[in-house]
Amino acid sequence: MLKKIVVTGGSGRFGRVLKKQPTKHKVFFPNKKQLNILNYKNIENYLKKKKPKILMHLAGLSRPMNIHEKNISKSIDLNIIGTSNITKACAANNIKLIYFSTSYVYPGKRGNYSESDNLLPVNNYAWSKLGGECSVQLYKNSLIVRVCMTEKPFLHKEAFTNVKSSFMYHEEVAKILFKLLDKKGIINVGGKSQYIYDFAKKDNKNVRKAFLKKNPKIGMPFNSSINTKKLKKIIR
């Protein structure tokens, strides 16, 4: 069934990839002036004008990761308050909400985390995304996507040989996303569990090996890999 969808954060890294993804649905990518997630009245006005069935909330603050340590006000505003505003507006207008969270909300110690596992973010970025999840959880007509994704090819010059993740490229996530429109609750989205170096070298032969030492300033989990059984049942 054809659906009208509004996507926040369309100018971001993943948003730009999603714009290129073919779909039968009518998708709107408002800029920050058209839809300001920190201005509730602005959000309401835009949604009443477009009357979407679904809102995908990609907008927020991610990189550089240390900005969440240096400027907590910005992190709180964009990832927690902004998401709360979006959630309230969706609830007021009976719009399905799909919220992009992160696999970093899991403790990041043993890996293979399922959607029902306990949460314990290891850095402020992940805490801010979990803060956004809290408001979304109050609204039952919603889906939280805990995603593990990155750009293709792997952008960094070095990749960790002792850190496991479930990275999936933006293009792969974009293909999956439209298959999740009718789902609710929480779904992990990512690839197979592997060391970041092994993932990176497949498409970037020049990437160098790096080793992550235990450093609380970095706040990076050693194994944030996720269990994607739930996702595989949906997209198979």
Three-class SS of residue 115? coil
Q: What is the token pair recorded at 28?
A: 């709107």
Q: What is the token pair recorded at 169?
A: 């490229």
Angle between helices 40-50 and 82-92 (to 10 degrees): 40
Nearest to 146 by CA among 162, 175, 126, 163: 126
Q: What is the token pair recorded at 1?
A: 């069934």
Rg of the chain (C-alpha set): 17
CA 155 to the chain's CA centroid: 18
Distance CA 4, CA 20 (A): 17
Given its phi and psi angles, is residue 88 left (phi above 0), alpha (psi -120 to 50 degrees) or beta?
alpha
Please list the residues that pair with 185 across neighbouring strands: 143
Distance CA 101, CA 115 (A): 12
Q: Where do the structural domains in the chain lie, given as residue ranges?
A: 4-235
Residues 6 or more apart in contact with residue 155 via CB below 8 angstroms: none
Residue-level pLDDT at 65: 85
- What DSSP element (H or E) covers 146? strand 142-147
Distance CA 43, CA 14 (A): 21
Residue-level pLDDT at 227: 98
The number of beta carbons lying within 10 Å of the beta carbon of residue 77 is: 16
Residue-level pLDDT at 216: 54
What pTM value is reported for the model? 0.95
Distance CA 132, CA 90 (A): 14
Number of H helices and number of E strands within the chain?
A: 9, 12
Q: What is the token pair recorded at 198?
A: 């092994």
Query: Cα–Cα distances in Å, from 188 out to 80, 217, 226, 228?
Result: 20, 27, 7, 6
Task: Please list the pLDDT of the chain residue by residue as tens digits (236 residues).
Answer: 899 999 999 999 999 999 999 999 999 999 999 999 999 999 999 999 999 999 999 999 998 888 999 999 999 999 999 999 999 999 999 999 999 999 999 999 999 999 999 999 989 999 999 999 999 999 999 999 999 999 998 989 999 999 999 999 999 999 999 999 999 999 999 999 999 999 999 999 999 999 998 765 557 899 999 999 999 999 98
CATH of 4-235, one of 3.40.50.720, 3.40.50.300, 1.10.1740.10, 3.40.720.10: 3.40.50.720
Nearest to 78 by CA among 5, 9, 28: 9
Residue-level pLDDT at 155: 86
